[in-house]
Amino acid sequence: METNDISACERLVMKAIWDTPEEMALQEIMDKVNEENGKSWKPQTVSTFLARLVRKGFLSSYRKGRYSYYQPVVSKEDFWKATMNENAHFFAQNDMAEMAFRLCKDMLSKNDVKELKKKLDEI
Protein backbone atom coordinates (compact mmCIF):
# COMPACT_ATOMS: atom_id res chain seq x y z
CA MET A 1 0.00 0.00 0.00
CA GLU A 2 1.28 3.43 -0.92
CA THR A 3 0.08 5.99 1.61
CA ASN A 4 0.85 8.76 -0.85
CA ASP A 5 -1.91 7.39 -3.05
CA ILE A 6 -4.48 9.36 -1.10
CA SER A 7 -4.72 13.12 -0.76
CA ALA A 8 -4.86 15.10 2.48
CA CYS A 9 -8.62 15.55 1.99
CA GLU A 10 -9.11 11.84 1.45
CA ARG A 11 -7.15 11.20 4.65
CA LEU A 12 -9.62 13.37 6.57
CA VAL A 13 -12.47 11.25 5.23
CA MET A 14 -10.63 8.04 6.11
CA LYS A 15 -9.91 9.29 9.63
CA ALA A 16 -13.58 10.05 10.20
CA ILE A 17 -14.46 6.53 9.09
CA TRP A 18 -11.66 4.89 11.09
CA ASP A 19 -12.63 6.77 14.24
CA THR A 20 -16.25 5.61 14.11
CA PRO A 21 -16.93 1.97 14.98
CA GLU A 22 -20.26 1.73 13.15
CA GLU A 23 -20.78 1.95 9.41
CA MET A 24 -21.61 5.39 8.10
CA ALA A 25 -23.48 6.86 5.15
CA LEU A 26 -22.49 9.96 3.20
CA GLN A 27 -24.36 12.46 5.40
CA GLU A 28 -22.82 11.13 8.60
CA ILE A 29 -19.33 11.13 7.11
CA MET A 30 -19.78 14.66 5.79
CA ASP A 31 -21.07 15.92 9.16
CA LYS A 32 -18.19 14.33 11.06
CA VAL A 33 -15.47 15.59 8.69
CA ASN A 34 -16.94 19.10 8.66
CA GLU A 35 -17.32 19.23 12.44
CA GLU A 36 -13.90 17.82 13.30
CA ASN A 37 -11.94 19.79 10.71
CA GLY A 38 -13.77 23.09 10.40
CA LYS A 39 -14.80 22.31 6.84
CA SER A 40 -18.00 23.18 5.01
CA TRP A 41 -17.84 20.47 2.40
CA LYS A 42 -21.00 19.68 0.47
CA PRO A 43 -22.31 16.15 -0.19
CA GLN A 44 -20.91 16.15 -3.74
CA THR A 45 -17.41 16.92 -2.48
CA VAL A 46 -17.43 14.15 0.11
CA SER A 47 -19.05 11.77 -2.37
CA THR A 48 -16.17 12.41 -4.78
CA PHE A 49 -13.60 11.62 -2.09
CA LEU A 50 -15.50 8.46 -1.11
CA ALA A 51 -15.65 7.27 -4.72
CA ARG A 52 -11.91 7.84 -5.12
CA LEU A 53 -11.17 5.93 -1.90
CA VAL A 54 -13.30 3.01 -3.07
CA ARG A 55 -11.55 3.02 -6.46
CA LYS A 56 -8.13 3.12 -4.77
CA GLY A 57 -9.04 0.16 -2.53
CA PHE A 58 -9.10 1.99 0.80
CA LEU A 59 -12.89 1.66 1.27
CA SER A 60 -15.68 -0.66 0.27
CA SER A 61 -19.30 0.34 -0.03
CA TYR A 62 -22.66 -1.34 -0.15
CA ARG A 63 -26.20 -0.15 -0.63
CA LYS A 64 -28.87 -0.55 2.00
CA GLY A 65 -32.14 0.94 0.87
CA ARG A 66 -31.44 4.28 -0.71
CA TYR A 67 -28.14 4.88 1.09
CA SER A 68 -24.61 3.68 0.50
CA TYR A 69 -22.57 2.73 3.54
CA TYR A 70 -18.78 2.76 3.70
CA GLN A 71 -16.34 0.50 5.49
CA PRO A 72 -12.55 0.64 5.62
CA VAL A 73 -10.66 -2.01 3.68
CA VAL A 74 -7.36 -0.68 5.00
CA SER A 75 -7.19 -0.47 8.79
CA LYS A 76 -5.98 2.62 10.58
CA GLU A 77 -3.15 0.56 12.09
CA ASP A 78 -1.99 -0.77 8.70
CA PHE A 79 -2.07 2.75 7.25
CA TRP A 80 -0.14 4.07 10.27
CA LYS A 81 2.55 1.39 9.85
CA ALA A 82 2.83 1.97 6.11
CA THR A 83 3.14 5.73 6.66
CA MET A 84 5.88 5.25 9.24
CA ASN A 85 7.73 2.77 7.01
CA GLU A 86 7.59 5.14 4.04
CA ASN A 87 8.88 8.02 6.16
CA ALA A 88 11.64 5.87 7.66
CA HIS A 89 12.68 4.77 4.18
CA PHE A 90 12.64 8.32 2.83
CA PHE A 91 14.18 10.20 5.75
CA ALA A 92 16.27 7.58 7.59
CA GLN A 93 17.26 5.00 4.96
CA ASN A 94 14.98 2.39 6.65
CA ASP A 95 16.63 2.89 10.05
CA MET A 96 13.64 2.83 12.40
CA ALA A 97 15.85 3.47 15.44
CA GLU A 98 17.14 6.65 13.79
CA MET A 99 13.59 7.66 12.91
CA ALA A 100 12.45 7.15 16.52
CA PHE A 101 15.50 9.04 17.80
CA ARG A 102 14.74 12.01 15.53
CA LEU A 103 11.13 12.08 16.66
CA CYS A 104 12.22 12.02 20.30
CA LYS A 105 14.95 14.61 19.85
CA ASP A 106 13.04 17.06 17.69
CA MET A 107 9.38 16.69 18.49
CA LEU A 108 8.76 15.19 21.93
CA SER A 109 8.75 16.93 25.27
CA LYS A 110 10.75 15.50 28.18
CA ASN A 111 7.52 14.11 29.60
CA ASP A 112 6.71 12.46 26.25
CA VAL A 113 10.18 10.86 26.20
CA LYS A 114 9.67 9.59 29.75
CA GLU A 115 6.36 7.99 28.75
CA LEU A 116 7.96 6.52 25.63
CA LYS A 117 10.71 4.91 27.71
CA LYS A 118 8.05 3.21 29.84
CA LYS A 119 6.31 1.88 26.74
CA LEU A 120 9.59 0.66 25.23
CA ASP A 121 10.33 -1.24 28.42
CA GLU A 122 7.00 -3.05 27.98
CA ILE A 123 8.07 -4.55 24.66
Kindly report, residue by residue over 65-103, the tens digit of the pLDDT.
999 999 999 999 999 999 988 888 888 888 888 888 887
Look up residue 1 and give its DSSP letter.
Answer: -
CA angle 41, 45, 47 (to 5 degrees): 120
Q: How far is CA 48 from CA 41, 45, 55, 106, in A?
A: 11, 5, 11, 37
pLDDT at 11 over 90: yes
Q: Which pLDDT belongs to residue 4? A: 74
Kindly report, residue by residue over 12-61, the tens digit of the pLDDT.
999 999 999 999 999 999 999 999 999 999 999 999 999 999 999 999 99
